[in-house]
Amino acid sequence: MCPYDVNTDEEIFYFPKVFKSGWYDLPSTPKRLFPKRIAAELSNLILTCEFKSLIFLSDKDSPWITKLSANRSDHPPIIKAVEYFESNKLGKKFNGGIEVPVTDLPEFIRHYFCLIRSDASFHAGYFSDPSQLFLGCIHHSGEVQFCLLNKKFDLTFSAAIAKTKFRKNNR
């Protein structure tokens, strides 16, 4: 859970100063192919930016594998995602952050997106590069928000995103 301020009756959110942000989507893709496509395009973007890894964090203090996902036996993609996370020591009690090497990103993102899309109680949070030049967030619709935290990174990001199939939208 986020810290809570009883005086204002609101959760307290911490977010860095953003230089520039935007939402991006992918051209129409069949639903069954979408996890692979978003994983491929995000991986391509990260490789083009020459990052060696991404850090995935949640802004909630709750397990990544929710009770709903852990108990699903009717949806093979969720079952595979839970098995993947558990085999990588991200079991039912894990609620921290993880650094994922670029070589593991396609598989990680496929399973991560499955949880985002299939489990409404899973709170995906954010991902960033180790130097914290940007924050990204994947929406359950497949749209991705990128918040640039550094003006110098803008040219690199613009060149890299142009080499993917992501399209800026007007969200």
Count of domains for the chain? 1
CB 42 within 8 A of CB 104: no
pLDDT digits (tens, 9 = 90+) for 26-54: 988 777 888 899 999 999 999 999 999 99
Residue 3 belongs to some domain of the structure: no
Tell me: pLDDT of 1 over 60: no
Residue 13 belongs to some domain of the structure: no
Residue 100 belongs to some domain of the structure: yes
Residue 114 belongs to some domain of the structure: yes
Residue 11 belongs to some domain of the structure: no
C-alpha span between 99 and 20 (Å, rounded): 24
pLDDT digits (tens, 9 = 90+) for 112-134: 998 888 877 777 689 999 999 99
C-alpha span between 16 and 162 (Å, rounded): 25
What's the pTM? Answer: 0.86
What is the mean pLDDT of the segment spanning 136-156? Answer: 92
Helix (H) or strand (E) holding 55: strand 53-57
Domain that holds residue 36: 19-168
